[in-house]
Structure 1
Amino acid sequence: MQENNGMEGIAPLPPVRREPPTVRLRRLAAELRRLRQEAGLSQAEVAEKTDINLATLHRIETAKTKPQLRTLNALLDAYGATGSTRTDLIALQKAAKQRGWLHGIEANLRGQYSAYIALEAEAHEAVNYESLFIPGLLQTEDYARAVIRGVLPTDTEAEVEHRVTARMRRQALLESDTPLRLWAIMDQAALSRTVGSEAVMRAQFRHLIQQAQRPHITIQVIPFSAGSHPGMLGSFILLKFAMDSPDVIHIDSMAGDLFLEKEADLQRYNRICEHLRAMALSPADTAALIASLCGDH
């Protein structure tokens, strides 16, 4: 006979559904990790210095939990963070649960630690569609320099070189022991526009052909003959993360960086990716097209 425990007719409580981290919370976590590392402190040393539980510190740095304001202030004190960096991170903490991000707070943080670069470094896969450029992770240094000079004509030479260096460093994600899986899709227009010079384009095409041979990189081109397609509305990058972290869409525009996190947006862009892959040339035919363009140049 089953023992009567006085709980008949009471349904068990549903499991608590943990809210996935927002871009803001991920950004805050990445900045706190960076500040700790720049201070030369281990997590254990910070825990001892601030009396913050080590497990809590780990959850904060992996965007599993939002730090309370007093906890954040204790961490910023330990890292010696002052001025605009401190102000911006406190603003991030207050807005950490809000989804989506159109430029704003991160503009005042160090450029090389922008929100997108921090997210890209944590992703395990990226689908990058470009309508006018070679994707940044596949650009040669000379092509990147020519693109940046053309797109940002008011930047100084030092600013251009800083951006080129940052772009080249990002490409280390493709060289690690567990490299980022990259699926790059381009409109043929990105290949047809001469950027820099014909010599720059020839080198860029050869680089694309070499990169396409790597098992973690897939390159496709949507030919002019395909006609109109969903990518004509603009370029975007779909970042995919391991475990239970949701995808993020990044759109770079003159108005700033736009991050899309809502489920409806993610579903829409995943469908767009499927359409673009279907309309593009196969990877083999893409390589043949690029090789023919290399000969033309």
Structure 2
Amino acid sequence: MRSNPTGRQLRLGTELRKLRERAGLTAAEAGQLLGVKPNQISNMEAGRAGVSAERVRAVACNYDCSDTDLVKALVGMTGDRTRGWWEEYREILPGALLDLAEVEHHAMRLRTAITVHIPGLLQTTDHARELFRQVVPALSPPDIEHRVSFRIKRQAVVFRDSPAPYLALIHEAALRMEFGGPAIARAQLQHLLDMSEQDHITLKVLPFAAGGFPGSGQSIFYSSGPVPQLDTVHLDQSHGPAFLDAEAQLSKYRVLLDRMETKCLPAEKSRDLIRSIAHNL
């Protein structure tokens, strides 16, 4: 029995619960079909109990789920039992940060939209350190360094073999925030330009001239799973990360990001604006 299920394990349990509820079954009825006690169904859906590929297929059959792509994706979530690099931070950083790294690691496509910060996957070490120095309540120097190292290690997802496509929508305001002074800001902007030349990375700037736009009050990270039902939205908030996976929420944020992207400059004009801002620092 798990005492601290990971975000991925919790998500698998959540999706199994959704299947049961769509089938109109109680936990007791589902248990009878599987030949287990109701509390075993509850533990499975809460991520506290491991779920095998065979159990997922049996559940899908009992719940009359005909979505073969979804079932295949859920089966895939049972097979990866390796401990990710983020586990070394489990007693050091909040669990939600580890869940974010796990989501990024398994994503098929990544999209982020942010107003006054540079996306974490595109930050330099010096820029990240300056951001963490502004956290309230203040972090100790060791805690700052733990968070910096964790953020930089997260960036492996954009450097590994066959990386997921990554689209970053960045407001012009974030480009003009001089965290750490002109030298650090200039290096950060150059890093953005360098990263934007990668084939799998698309960087688009939403200029001041675009005026108002949807989602202006929050940073949004959208991770696409193997099927749309397994997508995840991550909202970065001052009290910590929040994860959304309800179908209505996923649909809302897909539309929001699509609309936001239409207000952005094309990729090459975005790079021109970044070069101009860096030149004037």
User: Normalization by structure 2: what TM-score?
Assistant: 0.68
Quote how far apart the aligned CAs of 1:152 are.
4.2
Name the residue aligned to 1:150. Answer: 134
Residue 255 to residue 63, structure 1, CA distance change in 2 (3 Å): farther
| Identity among equivalent pairs (%) | 30
Deviation for aligned residue 1:232: 1.1
CA distance in 2, matches of 1:133, 1:207: 14
Q: Does 1:181 align with 2:146?
A: no
When residues 268 and 53 of structure 1 are mapped into structure 2, their CA distance, relative to the original with a 3 A threshold, is closer
Alpha-carbon spacing, 1:158–1:294, altered in 2? closer, same or farther (3 Å): same
Q: 1:242 aligns with which of 226, 229, 240?
A: 226
CA deviations over 1:67-94 (Å, ceiling 9, x no partner)? 9xxxxxxx9xxx9xxxxx9xxxxxxxxx
Is the CA contact 2:127–2:184 (under 8 Å) kept in the aligned structure 1? yes
Is 154-163 or 226-235 further displaced after alignment? 226-235
Q: Please name the residue that 1:270 is paired with.
A: 254
Q: Which residue of 2 aligns with 1:25?
A: 10
- Inter-CA distance 161–226: structure 2 relative to 1 (3 Å threshold): same
**Superposition pairs for residues 88-107 of structure 1, below 5 Å?**
none
Give me the CA root mean square deviation: 3.3
User: Counterparts of 1:45-124 in structure 2 under 5 Å?
Assistant: 64=75, 111=94, 114-124=98-108
Per-residue Cα deviation, 1:238-274 (whole angstroms, up to 9, x for no partner): 1001257521111121233221111111111111111
Q: 1:215 aligns with which of 188, 199, 216?
A: 199
Cα 1:193–1:296 change in 2 (3 A) is same
SS at match of 2:142: helix
Aligned to 2:269: 285
> Tell me, which stretches of 5 or more residues in structure 2 are unaligned?
1-6, 14-49, 58-72
Larger radius of gyration: 1
Q: Is residue 26–residue 119 contact of structure 1 (8 Å, CA) maintained in 2?
A: no
Q: Note the residue ranges of structure 1 that are not aligned, 5 or more in a row.
A: 1-21, 29-51, 68-74, 80-84, 86-106
Query: Runs of 4+ in structure 1 displaced over 6 angstroms?
Result: none
Q: Which residue number corresponds to residue 135 of structure 1? A: 119
1:208–1:66 Cα change, 3 Å: closer
Amino acid at match of 1:155: L
Task: Give distance in 1, aligned partners of 2:173 and 2:145.
Answer: 26
| Count of aligned residue pairs for this structure pair | 216
Cα 1:56–1:226 change in 2 (3 A) is same
Alpha carbons of structure 1 residues 108 and 261: separation in structure 2 relative to 1, 3 Å: farther
Partners of 1:260 and 1:233 lie apart in 2 by 17
Preserved contact between residue 25 and residue 66 of structure 1 (Cα < 8 Å) = no
Q: Identify if the C-alpha distance between structure 1 residues 194 and 263 changes in structure 2 by more than 3 Å, giving closer, same or farther.
A: same
Helix, strand or coil: the match of 1:218?
strand
* Larger RCO (CA under 8 A, 6+ residues apart): 1
CA contact (8 A) 1:141 1:168 kept: yes
Secondary structure of 2:169 counterpart: strand
